[in-house]
Amino acid sequence: MTAVANYVKNIVDTVKTTLVGMRITGKYLLQKPITVQYPDERLPIPNRYRGIHYLEQEKCINCLACARACPIDCIEMDAIRHGKELEWVSFTLDYQKCMFCELCVYPCPKDCIHMGTEFAFTSYDRSEFVHDLLSYQGMSREAKARMIEAEKKKKAKEEAKAAKKAAEAAKKKAESEAKGEDAPDAGTDGGEG
């Protein structure tokens, strides 16, 4: 009798377990998928995620602190200084080398280089992995304006100084002329000084 009981039990078990399984898969079938359509929508990325860098170029002073901190020397930068303003040439990061260690971020005195949240970075050519972080080349319009302003100010100051000196020299000359012909070269000396 046990054989027959076993036989019946097998049938009942098969049907029952299949139905249980179908209930579970059916539940999943009706629920909303948990995946997202990647390039169109993205899952939120944690704030402290270490992705591709971004640079606040306005703040950067070209001090090379980050480049020196980099353990694999993948940061290179170049800028021409005009007084206090910078004319940017390049600020490259070689992502073939970069290991996203974040060591470049801490030494920055101006807090201008950051790790971003962008992680998808593909290319058909290796050379494209040398990424330029600059958002503009040369000088920004504001920096240029500031530079021109500063130059103007400097010029004005110099002119004022020169005018003052000239005035002083003229005064001296007048005084010496008034004294007589004792010091004939005094006017030119004052002008040069």
Partner 1 sequence: MSLPLHLAALAAPRSATNQINDFLTGVKPDFVPDWALPLTTALISVGIAVAIISLVAMSGTWLERKVSGHIQCRYGPMRVGWHGWLQPIADGVKLLLKEDMIPLGADKPLYLLAPALVLASILGAMAVFPLAPDFYFADIDLGIFTILALTSTTTIGVVMAGWSSNSKWSLYGAMREAAQVVAYEIPLGISLLVPVMVAGSFNLLEVSNGQAGGFGVLNWYIWPWVNPFMGPAFLLFFIAILAETKRAPFDLPEAESELVAGFMTEYSGIRWSFFFMEEYAAMFLYCVVGSFFFFGGFESPLTSLARATDVHLLVQVAAAVTIIAKGYAGLFLMMWLRWTLPRVRIDQVMTLGYKYLTPLALACVLGASVWEVFLAPVLPWR
Task: From 28-36, 86-94, 95-103, 165-173, give the range in contact with partner 1 by CB under 8 A.
Answer: 28-36
Q: In what order do the strands lie in the sheet with 130-132?
A: 75-82, 85-94, 130-132
- Comparing C-alpha atoms, which of 79, 77, 111, 71 is closest to residue 93? 77
Task: From 23-31, 146-154, 170-178, 184-192, give the range in contact with partner 1 by CB under 8 A.
Answer: 23-31
Six-digit token string for 137: 């080349």
- Comparing C-alpha atoms, which of 92, 107, 3, 5 is closest to residue 52? 92
Yes or no: say if 95 and 121 are a contact pair by the CB < 8 Å rule: yes
| Contacting partner 1 within 37-76 (CB under 8 A) | 37
22 belongs to the binding site for partner 1 (CB under 8 A) = yes
35 belongs to the binding site for partner 1 (CB under 8 A) = yes
Task: From 16-24, 66-74, 100-108, 147-155, give the range in contact with partner 1 by CB under 8 A.
Answer: 16-24
Three-state secondary structure call for residue 93: strand
CB of 88 to partner 1, least distance (A): 40
**Residues in contact with partner 1 by the rule CB under 8 A:** 7, 10-11, 15, 18, 21-22, 24-26, 28-29, 31, 33-35, 37
